[in-house]
RNA sequence: GGGUCGGUAGCUCAAUCGGUAGAGCAGGUGCCUUUUAAGCACUUGGUUCGGGGUUCAAGUCCCCGCCGGCCUACCA
């Protein structure tokens, strides 16, 4: 087959022409495979064991770098563990194979086998005796030195980001390790992992606008869940005394540095415990993750501020923190008007129509929470703020709950769970007001069956990952964050044209 | 939703006051058998996000739109 000369500036066409030529010569890389005996890391480990020289390995990965020097070449391949150098020379591979090697492109996926050796400059290298192209890369990779910087491309083309940006690869590896560690921690405490449904008739357990979807078979609308809470508590009623779920929840609200419309939540429920028990649980959990995954109890946030996670953590009541922020020890005795004036002094122009507790809570969210950088359990939270927790026995205006704040963000709320169906009904009615169709009567019926006293907690996993990896943005911790769908005519339209696969047989 | 900044070659970035759109990497050709962002020589490559306007002349100024970053609003 006469090789058509493609435009040398059309990187796709140049690579496609190489592929066509290979297929014409009887080799189709998309039908090939490779027997990988070692990764970059295990090959290094093997070499460091010492003993006899010239250990043979067979590695595979994506070519990220090629340096051709006449009759020999160095290249690097990237596999799941990292990079390893390979050395190809004409007299070892043979004339024909070496000529083909020189035609490889950065981004191609190859298998390479041969003995390990260390180069003059001290780098462990595989001396290629055999190699095979096992997947052709038709698109060029971003620049080798600067990587991919454009944040939109990073989010839209995460695969490119992962190939060229090592920090990104490491961050997601760490995310996986943290979640795995959390699972093992909870299992070691005899919690059982469950999966509850994501399609809810009534999206309860939190106050957030849900996404709506339509179920054709039943011809009715469903909501994507906004929390895991109510189903998990029904499992407590059912006798699963210690349950947890790690799953997606969906909230139809704005996007920003700390909010993605779908995010990962961990919820844990433990019968015969309470919010104090949850304090111990989250503290131990974070210590365990620090030791097993991070190897450190200190983390540094995106602003360079160090946060010390080793315990014990500060405990402060909601009202004390408000008093501290406003400098008013008699805050609880002030009228709403006085509170509004105080809010204004703190630079908050609040709507006078807000309820009294909402005014205070605005101060909490805008002026207190952002200041809670080191881990702090905020306790004694006003009852209006959460309808699902038990009232404090000594002061029924507050709840037996905490909110764990770190780095100015709420990481985990936990409650002594309300199990009195009458009080629960009352709280629900206050919450939903007129919209009684949003009142989850099935849940109330479950409570009427009798739910054991329990502690429960929700952990925003993505926010925890931000904290533990020092990420600047929730999108850097979510593999495929929400973005507006591609415009109809994008600059980067699909290049692969529809054509009969000629080389296929 | 509002404010603000941005979108230039496949990638990372330049382009003075409105006056012929450039560089590095990647790509192509040639040389080079231990390189490290390999090197050397030559070289291809542009709907300057899209549409309109002002002007002798627009990447640059104005208007509209698209996409994104940041701030803000919403947000248990």
Helices (H), A270-335: 275-289, 318-326
Of A90, A109, A140, the domain-final residue: A140
- How far, in Å, is the CA of A109 from the C1' of nucleotide B34? 24
Query: End-to-end CA distance of chain A, in Å?
Result: 17
Say whether the ipTM exceeds 0.85.
yes
Surface-to-core class of residue A61, CB atoms within 10 Å of its CB (0-12 exposed, 13-18 middle, 19+ buried)? buried
- How far, in Å, is the CA of A347 from the C1' of nucleotide B3? 19
User: Does residue A438 sit within a domain?
Assistant: yes
A89: nearest nucleotide, CA–C1' criterion: B33
Q: Give the strands of the sheet with A199-200, arranged side by side.
A: A199-200, A220-224, A212-215
Q: At what angle do helices A461-469 and A166-188 cross, to 10 degrees?
A: 120
Q: Does residue A118 share a domain with residue A205?
A: no
Q: Does residue A429 share a domain with residue A391?
A: yes
Q: Does residue A195 share a domain with residue A97?
A: no
User: Does residue A48 sit within a domain?
Assistant: yes
- How far, in Å, is the CA of A159 from the C1' of nucleotide B12? 18
User: Does residue A323 sit within a domain?
Assistant: no
- Closest residue (CA) to C1' of nucleotide B50 is A489
A153: nearest nucleotide, CA–C1' criterion: B68
Q: Are strands A124-127 and A82-89 parallel, antiparallel or unpaired?
A: parallel
- How far, in Å, is the CA of A147 from the C1' of nucleotide B14? 18
Q: Does residue A103 share a domain with residue A240?
A: no
How far lies A166's CA from each of A204, A230, A474, in Å? 40, 40, 18
- How far, in Å, is the CA of A154 from the C1' of nucleotide B12? 14
pLDDT (tens digit, 9 = 90+) per residue, A67-118? 999 999 999 999 999 999 999 999 999 999 999 999 999 999 999 999 999 9
Q: Does residue A392 share a domain with residue A269?
A: yes
Q: How many domains does chain A divide into?
A: 2
CATH of residue A268: 3.30.930.10
Structure tokens at A460: 């925003």
Of A82, A111, A140, the domain-final residue: A140
pTM: 0.93
Q: Does residue A396 share a domain with residue A256?
A: yes
A12: nearest nucleotide, CA–C1' criterion: B10
Helices (H), A157-259: 158-164, 166-188, 229-237
User: Does residue A196 sit within a domain?
Assistant: yes
User: Does residue A326 sit within a domain?
Assistant: no
Q: Does residue A107 share a domain with residue A255?
A: no
A229: nearest nucleotide, CA–C1' criterion: B76
User: Does residue A337 sit within a domain?
Assistant: no
- How far, in Å, is the CA of A256 from the C1' of nucleotide B2? 15
Q: Does residue A296 share a domain with residue A172?
A: yes
A484: nearest nucleotide, CA–C1' criterion: B67
Of A106, A140, A174, the domain-final residue: A140
Q: Does residue A197 share a domain with residue A116?
A: no
Q: Does residue A308 share a domain with residue A227?
A: yes
**pLDDT value of position A52:** 66
Q: Does residue A266 share a domain with residue A172?
A: yes
Q: Does residue A164 share a domain with residue A97?
A: no
- Closest residue (CA) to C1' of nucleotide B49 is A491
- Closest residue (CA) to C1' of nucleotide B25 is A143
- How far, in Å, is the CA of A259 from the C1' of nucleotide B59? 36
- How far, in Å, is the CA of A19 from the C1' of nucleotide B22? 33
CATH of residue A134: 2.40.50.140
pLDDT in tens, chain A (505 residues): 344 456 888 999 999 999 999 999 999 999 999 999 999 999 999 998 876 667 899 999 999 999 999 999 999 999 999 999 999 999 999 999 999 999 999 999 999 999 999 999 999 999 999 999 999 999 999 999 999 999 999 999 999 999 999 999 999 999 999 999 999 999 999 999 999 999 999 888 888 889 999 999 999 999 999 999 999 999 999 999 999 999 999 999 888 889 999 999 999 999 999 999 999 999 999 999 999 999 999 999 988 899 999 989 999 999 999 999 999 999 999 999 999 999 988 888 888 888 899 999 999 999 999 999 999 999 999 998 988 999 999 999 999 999 999 999 999 999 999 999 999 999 888 887 777 777 899 999 999 999 999 999 999 999 999 999 999 899 999 999 998 887 544 333 444 543 323 333 2
User: Does residue A483 sit within a domain?
Assistant: yes
According to DSSP, the residues that pair with A461 across neighbouring strands are none
Q: Which of A281, A246, A283 is nearest to A263 (CA)?
A: A246
- How far, in Å, is the CA of A496 from the C1' of nucleotide B28? 22
Q: Could you say which nucleotides of strand B lie within 7 A of any protein CB atom?
A: 1, 10-13, 24-28, 31-39, 44-46, 49, 66-76
**pLDDT value of position A494:** 44
User: Does residue A496 sit within a domain?
Assistant: no
Structural domain of A94 = 8-140
């Amino acid at each position: 087959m006469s090789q058509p000369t493609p435009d040398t500036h059309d990187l796709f066409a140049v690579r496609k022409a190489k592929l066509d030529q290979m297929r014409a010569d009887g080799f189709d890389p998309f039908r090939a495979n490779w027997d990988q005996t070692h990764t970059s890391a295990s090959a290094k480990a093997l070499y460091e064991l010492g003993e006899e020289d010239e250990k043979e390995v067979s590695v595979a990965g994506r070519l990220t770098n090629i340096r051709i020097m006449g009759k020999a070449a160095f290249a690097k391949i990237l596999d799941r563990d990292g990079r390893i150098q390979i050395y190809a020379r004409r007299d070892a591979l043979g004339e024909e194979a070496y000529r083909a090697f020189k035609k490889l492109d950065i981004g191609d996926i190859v298998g390479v086998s041969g003995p390990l050796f260390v180069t003059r400059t001290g780098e462990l290298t595989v001396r290629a005796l055999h190699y095979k192209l096992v997947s052709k890369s038709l698109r060029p990779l971003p620049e080798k030195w600067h990587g991919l910087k454009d944040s939109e491309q990073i989010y839209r083309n995460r695969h490119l980001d992962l190939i060229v940006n090592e920090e990104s690869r490491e961050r997601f590896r760490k995310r996986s390790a943290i979640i795995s560690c959390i699972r093992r921690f909870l299992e070691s405490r005899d919690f059982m992992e469950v999966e509850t449904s994501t399609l809810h008739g009534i999206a309860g357990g939190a106050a957030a606008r849900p996404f709506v979807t339509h179920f054709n078979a039943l011809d009715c609308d469903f909501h994507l869940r906004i929390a895991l809470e109510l189903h998990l508590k029904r499992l407590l009623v059912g006798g699963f005394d210690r349950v947890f779920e790690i799953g997606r929840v969906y909230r139809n609200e704005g996007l920003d540095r700390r909010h993605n419309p779908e995010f990962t939540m961990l919820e844990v429920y433990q019968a015969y415990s309470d919010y104090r028990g949850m304090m111990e649980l989250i503290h131990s959990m974070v210590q365990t993750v620090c030791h097993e995954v991070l190897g450190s109890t200190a983390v540094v946030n995106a602003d360079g501020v160090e946060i010390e996670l080793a315990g014990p953590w500060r405990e402060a009541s909601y009202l004390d923190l408000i008093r501290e922020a406003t400098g008013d020890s008699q805050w609880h005795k002030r009228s709403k008007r006085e509170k509004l004036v105080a809010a204004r002094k703190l630079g908050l122009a609040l709507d006078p129509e807000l309820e009294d507790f909402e005014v205070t809570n605005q101060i909490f969210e805008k002026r207190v929470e952002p200041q809670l950088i080191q881990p702090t359990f905020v306790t004694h939270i006003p009852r209006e703020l959460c309808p699902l927790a038990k009232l404090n026995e000594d002061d029924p205006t507050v709840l037996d709950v905490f909110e764990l704040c770190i780095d100015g963000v709420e990481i985990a709320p936990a409650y002594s769970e309300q199990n009195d169906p009458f009080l629960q009904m009352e709280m629900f009615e206050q919450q939903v007001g007129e919209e009684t169709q949003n009142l989850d009567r099935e849940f109330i019926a479950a409570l009427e069956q009798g739910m054991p006293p329990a502690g429960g907690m929700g952990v925003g996993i993505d926010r925890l990952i931000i904290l533990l990896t020092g990420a600047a943005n929730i999108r850097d911790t979510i593999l495929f964050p929400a973005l507006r769908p591609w415009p109809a005519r994008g600059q980067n339209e699909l290049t692969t044209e529809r054509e009969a696969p000629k080389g296929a047989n």
